[in-house]
Amino acid sequence: MNFKLYLFSFLLYFISQLDIYISEKIVYIATERPMVVYFNKKFINNVSVASRRRNRDDPVYYINFYIDILVPLGNNVSVDVFFYELQNGRYHRTFVEIHSKLCDFIEAGTLFGESLKRAIKNHPCPFQPGQLNLSNLTIPLQNIPKNFPYKQGRLYCNTTIVRNGVFTKLSESYIDIEVRSGIVKKST
């Protein structure tokens, strides 16, 4: 009886150790609860944004963005991104901000990097009127400095369009982000 118990304990230990060798720890950015607060129906329509994981084994969140463009959008659109840190259940504005023109923002790959460039390869900037679907966008960890002091917060994105010398608010949105770590199975 003791031998069976010993053998069973050994097998459980062996299996638990085996799992260490077939998995690895990764650090990723979770993007949750995206919200489009406002969009100007004179310029864009049917704006939808969602964030989800592909499956339970993949901890990385992917953002899908769908929009109907009614007028050409290019460097006549300015993009303003503000980072708010979550402290004591409230969001506080930080010094981290990105201000750029739309096409320059995409070309620089500041936030979404290569995933955004891959998603728009069939739709060069400036974007012409029509449907624009951007799928599987991620925020690569290498785009965040290693000594970045904030681990959880909210990204606010405001866009403004300039037409005939007049500045008009185009859209306002936000998404919650958090730097997380998780264990995933190694692909063999």
pLDDT tens-digit map of 75-122: 999 999 999 999 998 999 998 888 989 888 888 876 676 777 777 877
pLDDT at 128: 92
Tell me the C-alpha distance between 157 and 98, whole Å: 9
- The answer to whether the beta carbons of residues 134 and 59 sit under 8 Å apart is no
Identify any residues that bridge with 153 across adjacent strands, giving them in sequence order.
Answer: 85, 177
- Tell me whether residue 70 is exposed, middle or buried, using C-beta atoms within 10 angstroms of its C-beta: 0 to 12, 13 to 18, 19 or more: middle
pLDDT tens per residue across all 188 residues of the chain: 576 666 667 666 655 655 555 566 677 788 889 999 999 999 999 999 999 988 877 778 888 989 999 999 999 999 999 999 999 989 999 988 889 898 888 888 766 767 777 778 777 888 899 998 888 888 777 767 667 778 889 999 999 999 888 899 999 999 998 887 776 666 55
Minimal CA–CA distance to 72: which of 130, 133, 116? 130
- What is the full DSSP assignment across 44-86? EEEEEEEEEESSTT---EEEEEEEEE-S-BSTTEEEEEEEEEE
pLDDT at 158: 94
pLDDT at 80: 93
What is the CATH T-level fold of the domain 25-185, as seen in this structure?
A: Ganglioside M2 Activator Protein; Chain: A, (2.70.220)
Q: What is the pTM of this model?
A: 0.76
Looking at residue 29, the DSSP 8-state letter turns out to be: E
Reading across the β-sheet that carries 130-137, which strands appear in turn?
44-53, 61-69, 130-137
Task: Pick left, alpha or beta for residue 33 (phi over 0 → left; psi -120 to 50 → alpha; otherwise beta).
Answer: left
pLDDT at 84: 93
Tell me the C-alpha distance between 28 and 95, whole Å: 22
